[in-house]
Amino acid sequence: MSSNFRYHIIKNVKPYAVYIPQLTKSALRVLIQVSVHYIETKKSSPDVLALAINKLKNAGNEVPKNFCELFTMILLIMQIYLRYPKGVVKDPELRQCLSDDLGLTDVCVEDLAKVLLNHRATLSKNFSDTKMERAKMLDMQWRINISLKSTMAQLDKPTIVLHFKLINGEYRTLELPLSMFQRLRFNVAMLLSEFQSLQNRPVLKQF
């Protein structure tokens, strides 16, 4: 098996495996449709997820309690797979990873593998196009939100709010609890350290 593919699946998707017992065949098919929609349009508004949930309800199917987490899991699997050139991750390798590492049922493995393998060309093109269209950040501002509890006796947990201005004129806002922001800082620092280590390698200094 492609060790990198398996590594990224375990690292990024395995934490969501706890929700797999909730995943039914009907729910998976709806989640695949929503994930394909996201890959094609780079849009996943609450309305889209609400329509998917209503589709399950109207068909008389049970909606998984952690529907959003399962959507994230399926989307991550598809995105990680599509990052690899065609032929790198073989059909048996993909199925084994979904079954053994994540614990998906045979029925779910079959449905997901068929979509990825049979529609690889279209999905790869859409995935590549949406990545190229991603707007870059032009500016960023931040602030700390501190709210008082009703007793006014102690401060509530602060949150960090990040405002991003994109080159296409749009704005994005991200609010994080302090603990999550610290994790973000740590991961960014680790990433910069890795970049610096790579740049210092003699083989890369030739470019």
For tokens 């790579």, what's the residue? 198
pTM of the model: 0.62
- The answer on 151 and 66 residing in a single domain is no
Task: Look over the chain and give the mean of its residue pLDDT values, rounded to a whole number.
Answer: 81
pLDDT of residue 127: 64
- The answer on 188 and 88 residing in a single domain is no
166-192 pLDDT per residue, tens: 887 888 888 888 888 888 888 888 888
- The answer on 89 and 35 residing in a single domain is yes
- The answer on 171 and 102 residing in a single domain is no
For tokens 């994005």, what's the residue? 172
At residue 144, the 3 state secondary structure works out as strand
Query: Are 41 and 116 spatial neighbours (Cβ–Cβ below 8 Å)?
Result: no
- The answer on 107 and 81 residing in a single domain is yes
Query: Are 40 and 125 spatial neighbours (Cβ–Cβ below 8 Å)?
Result: no
Residue-range definition of the domain harbouring residue 11: 3-130
- The answer on 108 and 11 residing in a single domain is yes
- The answer on 155 and 89 residing in a single domain is no
**Whether pLDDT at 150 is above 60:** no
Choosing from 130, 158, 183, the residue where a domain stops is 130
- The answer on 117 and 81 residing in a single domain is yes
The residues with which 171 forms a beta bridge, in sequence order, are 165
Choosing from 68, 99, 130, the residue where a domain stops is 130
